[in-house]
Amino acid sequence: MNQAKRKEFFDRLAKAIPEPKTELRYSTPFELLIAVVLSAQATDKSVNKATEKLFAVANTPESILELGEEKLKSYIKTIGLYNSKAANIIKLCNLLVKKPNSRVPQTREELEALPGVGRKTANVVLNTAFGHDTIAVDTHIFRVANRTGLARGKTVLEVEKKLEKFVPKEHKHDAHHLLILHGRYTCIARKPRCQSCVIEDLCEYKGKILE
């Protein structure tokens, strides 16, 4: 896919998805950080159900520490890997309370130094909470980038680097959510909805389903 096609690709997605944003519910950068940590190998829907109850009683590093690890588990036990996630969240909160005003860091390096936070989670927080032009490559973006020919790569990092290079400047900030939402609802894993896809004619996928 050449750069002219890539621009058209994102122009069309932006028109089809006028409000590209996360489906995780949050009101502060800290709430988003916790939600994203919980979302690893879990659906946004399941995370939202858990955090709705959790954040009503504890939505700061201090209040989660006061809650304690065992009580925290009771709020997130419906989410996969909740034991390790609870342990990481407690460790993460212990580090945050040592920072001025317990603020969530705004650099990738500082975020990745937090327990349970990898490159993908850091990129999501930087993009969604702080407005950085980062692209967190999750399973949806990896699939869409490779399937369409937008930015092919064998690893998540390779795809991320290509997207950073190829995504038109005007779409850099929204690219993350445009691709996730397109992958979640149209370019789905098993039977992509090619017949209703706004970029079908630009796509290089050889297994298109157009019936």
- CATH code, domain carrying 8: 1.10.1670.10
Do the Cβ atoms of 97 and 112 come closer than 8 Å?
no
Residues 118 and 144 in one domain: no
Residues 8 and 98 in one domain: no
Residues 36 and 92 in one domain: yes
pLDDT for the residue numbered 208: 76
The mean pLDDT of 80-96, rounded to a whole number, is 96
- Number of folded domains that form the chain: 2
pLDDT for the residue numbered 41: 87
Residues 143 and 100 in one domain: no
Instruction: Determine the structural domain holding residue 73 and report its residue range.
Output: 29-130
Residues 56 and 107 in one domain: yes
DSSP symbols for 44-57:
HHHHHHHHHHHHHH
120 is catalytic: yes
Percentage of the chain exceeding pLDDT 70: 99
Percentage of the chain exceeding pLDDT 90: 93
pLDDT for the residue numbered 211: 60
Measured distance CA(204)–CA(187) in Å, rounded: 13
174 is catalytic: no
Long-range contacts of 43-50 (CB under 8 A, 24+ apart): 46/78, 46/79, 47/79, 48/23, 48/24, 49/78, 50/75, 50/76, 50/78, 50/79
pLDDT for the residue numbered 162: 96
Residue 210 lies in a domain: no
Identify the CATH number of the domain in which residue 126 sits: 1.10.340.30
- Marked catalytic residue, from 98, 120, 162, 201: 120
pLDDT for the residue numbered 39: 94
- Marked catalytic residue, from 7, 85, 138, 174: 138
pLDDT, tens digit, for every residue of 168-203? 999 999 999 999 999 999 999 999 999 999 999 999
- 3-state secondary structure at position 151: coil
The mean pLDDT of 55-84, rounded to a whole number, is 95
> Residue 147's CB: how many other CB atoms inside 10 A?
19
Residue 209 lies in a domain: no
Residues 33 and 125 in one domain: yes
Residues 158 and 125 in one domain: no
pLDDT, tens digit, for every residue of 139-167? 999 999 999 999 999 999 999 999 999 99
Q: Does 210 or 205 have the greater pLDDT score? A: 205
pLDDT, tens digit, for every residue of 97-124? 998 889 999 999 999 999 999 999 999 9
